[in-house]
């Protein structure tokens, strides 16, 4: 192949890639807002957009249910938007569009907090109310709401583990990654609770890293069991940890001998809860989080900002008595524990 032909091939290749990129861009456009009906009656109605990390996944589909429910109950126009792939830049673009549409409020679950600060600053300068979720410490927001305080949630998981283990025996904990802040805090909350309340329990291996990978979690569990044959409990932080451990428990026929709890979603863990390989999973209901975000937006728009204070009741289970840090960072206690008996109540 001579030089000229080779460069020609290269150019045509680049063109092909460019075309592909273009088509990918047009495919990655945000979903259109759904028109809301029920614009009836009482008081001023607002247009509130919720921007999520990603559309088309079970988690945010569930959140959309809460958002729609709020719209139907209050008559405000509420809708959800989000990129089709997890990309901070696409989220920025969607928010820019919403600012241009002059919505009254934007509630956001940021993909990357840093990337959204400037565009949300702009939104607030234009008088749009901004509420965030899963973005503790975010600057340019009226309020950030978390489903729970991470340490409290960890303690809740530990309570379930202790109950399942009969409050005694050796246990291990895993995190998705040593650099995932929330996982580390859940683990620390759990460990602290065990130290305070369950003296007969003992952590033999702590914070093993699973890389959010079920296979790794399964292998780590098997290995820890070899190193500590008296192991009686497992607590996992990442969404795949508990499933990995439960898989190993089932394969080794240890149901009832080793207790597995962790953060997960029912769709992933159902088969193990059913077989008894897993005792309980914890998570928060995104539908409630979506509902509360919209509720907060309306409260701010109605000028009832002062009502959002320590101990305030937002009218949703788990958010009846919120905790406030630095005036604008709110925490509920909205964790949900799901076992064999109530796992069918959740569809994500």
Partner 1 sequence: MKKVMQTSEFYVAIVVLALFLVIGSQSSAFFTITNLFDLIRSGIVPGIFVMCAMLVIISGGIDVSFPAIATFSMFCSTKILHSMHYDGPVLVAFLLSGLIGLCLGLINAVFISLFRLPTLIVTLGTSSMFSGFLLTFVGSSQISDLPKPLLTFSKEQIFKFTNDSGITVGLPVAVLVSLGVIVLVALLLRYTMMGRGIYALGGDAVSAQRIGFSPIRIQFFIYGFVGLMAGVAGMIHTTMMRNSNPVDLLGTELLIIAAVVLGGTRITGGHGTVLGSLLGLLLVITIQNSLILLGIPSYWQRFVIGALILIGTGVAAYQVKRSIMKRKSIVS
Answer yes or no whether residue 14 interacts with partner 1 by CB under 8 A.
no
Checking DSSP bridges between strand 169-175 and strand 231-236, what pairing results, if any? parallel
Q: Which of residues 53-72 bind partner 1 (CB under 8 A)?
A: 54, 56-59
Considering only 127, 229, 303, 311, the residue that binds partner 1 (CB under 8 A) is 229
Residues 348 and 61: beta-carbon distance below 8 Å: yes
Q: Which of residues 77-116 bind partner 1 (CB under 8 A)?
A: 84-86
Residues 29 and 87: beta-carbon distance below 8 Å: no
Answer yes or no whether residue 181 interacts with partner 1 by CB under 8 A.
no
Distance, CA of 155 to CA of 326 (rounded, Å) = 23
- Whose Cβ is closer to partner 1: residue 30's or residue 59's? 59
Residues 263 and 157: beta-carbon distance below 8 Å: yes
Answer yes or no whether residue 254 interacts with partner 1 by CB under 8 A.
yes
Considering only 14, 73, 178, 310, the residue that binds partner 1 (CB under 8 A) is 178
User: Shortest distance, CB of residue 303 to partner 1, whole angstroms?
Assistant: 40
Q: Which residues contact 255 (CB under 8 A, 6 or more apart)?
A: 249, 275, 276, 277
Answer yes or no whether residue 47 interacts with partner 1 by CB under 8 A.
no
Answer yes or no whether residue 222 interacts with partner 1 by CB under 8 A.
yes
- Whose Cβ is closer to partner 1: residue 77's or residue 187's? 187
Answer yes or no whether residue 27 interacts with partner 1 by CB under 8 A.
yes
- Whose Cβ is closer to partner 1: residue 91's or residue 218's? 218
Answer yes or no whether residue 122 interacts with partner 1 by CB under 8 A.
no
Angle between helices 58-74 and 286-301 (to 10 degrees): 40
Q: Which residues of 295-323 are buried (b: 16+ CB within 10 A; e: fewer)?
A: bbbbbbbeeeeeebeeebebebebbeebb
Read off the DSSP letter of residue 209.
Answer: E
The footprint of partner 1 (CB under 8 A) covers 1, 6, 9, 13, 24, 27-28, 54, 56-59, 84-86, 178, 205-209, 211-215, 218-220, 222-227, 229, 240, 243-244, 247, 251-254, 257, 267-268, 270-271
């Amino acid at each position: 192949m001579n030089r000229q032909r080779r460069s020609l091939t290269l150019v045509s290749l680049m063109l092909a890639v460019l075309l592909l990129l273009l088509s990918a861009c047009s495919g990655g456009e945000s979903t259109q807002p759904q028109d809301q009906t029920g614009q009836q009656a009482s008081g001023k109605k607002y247009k509130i957009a919720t921007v999520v990390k990603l559309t088309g996944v079970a988690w945010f589909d569930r959140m959309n249910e809460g958002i729609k429910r709020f719209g139907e109950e209050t008559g405000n126009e509420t809708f959800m938007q989000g990129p089709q792939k997890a990309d901070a830049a696409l989220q920025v673009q969607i928010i820019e569009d919403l600012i241009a549409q002059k919505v009254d409020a934007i509630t956001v679950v940021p993909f990357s907090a840093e990337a959204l600060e400037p565009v949300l600053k702009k939104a607030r300068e234009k008088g749009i109310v901004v509420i965030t979720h899963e973005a503790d410490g975010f600057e340019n927001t009226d309020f950030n709401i978390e489903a729970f305080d991470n340490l409290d949630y960890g303690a809740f998981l530990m309570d379930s583990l202790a109950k399942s283990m009969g409050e005694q025996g050796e246990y291990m904990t895993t995190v998705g990654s040593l650099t995932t802040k929330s996982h580390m805090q859940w683990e620390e909350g759990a460990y602290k609770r065990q130290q305070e309340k369950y003296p007969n329990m003992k952590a033999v291996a702590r914070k093993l890293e699973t890389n959010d990978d079920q296979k790794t979690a399964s292998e780590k569990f098997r290995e820890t069991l070899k190193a500590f044959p008296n192991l009686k409990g497992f607590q996992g932080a990442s969404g795949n940890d508990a499933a990995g451990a439960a898989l190993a428990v089932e394969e080794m026929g240890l149901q009832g001998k080793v207790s597995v709890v962790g953060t997960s979603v029912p769709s992933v863990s159902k088969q193990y809860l059913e077989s008894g390989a897993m005792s309980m999973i914890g998570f928060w209901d995104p539908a409630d989080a979506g509902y509360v975000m919209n509720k907060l937006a309306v409260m701010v728009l109605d000028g009832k900002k002062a009502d959002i204070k320590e101990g305030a009741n937002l009218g949703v289970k788990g958010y009846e008595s919120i905790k406030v840090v630095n005036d604008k960072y709110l925490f509920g206690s909205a964790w949900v524990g799901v076992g064999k008996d109530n796992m069918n109540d959740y569809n994500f």
